Amino acid sequence: MSTTLSLQLLGTPRVWVDGVVQELPTRKLLALLAHLALCGGATRAQVVALLWSTQASAEGRRNLRQELHRLRATPMAAWLRADDDRLQLKDGFQLDVERWRSGLALPTTDLAGGPPTLLDGLGDIKGADGFAEWLEQERDALRRQWAGAAARRAAACEEAGQLDDALALVQAQLVAQPLDERHHRKAMQLLHRQGQRAAALEQFQRCRQLLREELQKEPDAESLALEQRIRDSGPSSVAAPAAAGSLHAPLIGRD
């Protein structure tokens, strides 16, 4: 194929053909291209259910034909394969989501900035309830992939003694999942290991306040026990290796 197609779906979506940004006629065409790029293709019935969720099937198919007619008037037409009942993009296009996924395990990839937003601003297309639901599922999958990579990187940094880097990654996880007590506990442990006993206790108080305001519940037994051990450690012992080691959850309940 003589042309090149590149899709940016993370953040504000953009499409390039031969290095030139393309302005698509409608948001539904952009949503269609994004769905085909991420899913590898779809039947016409599936596309209609996504983008014309509130309309009858026949009307939705007519609207789809109109959108495809608009697409054929753009440089993206060369990249669309439209068979009798299936739509897909031809092989060879570049997709930033795939590059992002491949880079999650690389140490040079910045994970502390949090997960990217997939198709920012494209979740409220009129009449496309199916697309909005699908998009949220895809966004959640990316968030989970990022969270797993961030947790692994944080653990590696902590093991290597890079506590500042580990804490930055844990704090990024807290931004993404502020009600997850595991992240609050890990932040408390890292702060305490750095000699920041007061900050570790403040972290617990933030956790308690969030849980009370959002879930009307108290921190669980593991969080309460960790807070008590940090409080009992005293200002003079927070930097001692033995005190840091005593903060692991398996010690709960032991004599």
- The structural domains of the chain, ordered by start, are 1-161 (1.10.10.10), 178-251 (no CATH)
| Tokens 């308690």 found at | 208
Q: What is the pLDDT of residues 85-138, one digit of tens each?
A: 999 999 999 999 999 999 998 989 999 999 999 999 999 999 999 999 999 999
Question: How distant, in Å, are the alpha carbons of 116, 168, 179 from that of 139?
Answer: 9, 22, 19
3-state secondary structure of 13: coil
| Strand order across the beta sheet in which 80-82 lies | 42-43, 86-89, 80-82
Q: What is the pLDDT of residues 7-31, one digit of tens each?
A: 999 999 999 999 999 999 999 999 9
**Contacts of 1 by beta carbon, 8 Å cutoff, 6+ apart:** 78, 79, 90, 92
The structure's pTM equals 0.83
Among 181, 194, 190, which residue's Cα sits nearest to residue 154?
190
The helix/strand count (H/E) of the chain reads as 10, 7
Residue 245 has pLDDT above 50, yes or no: no
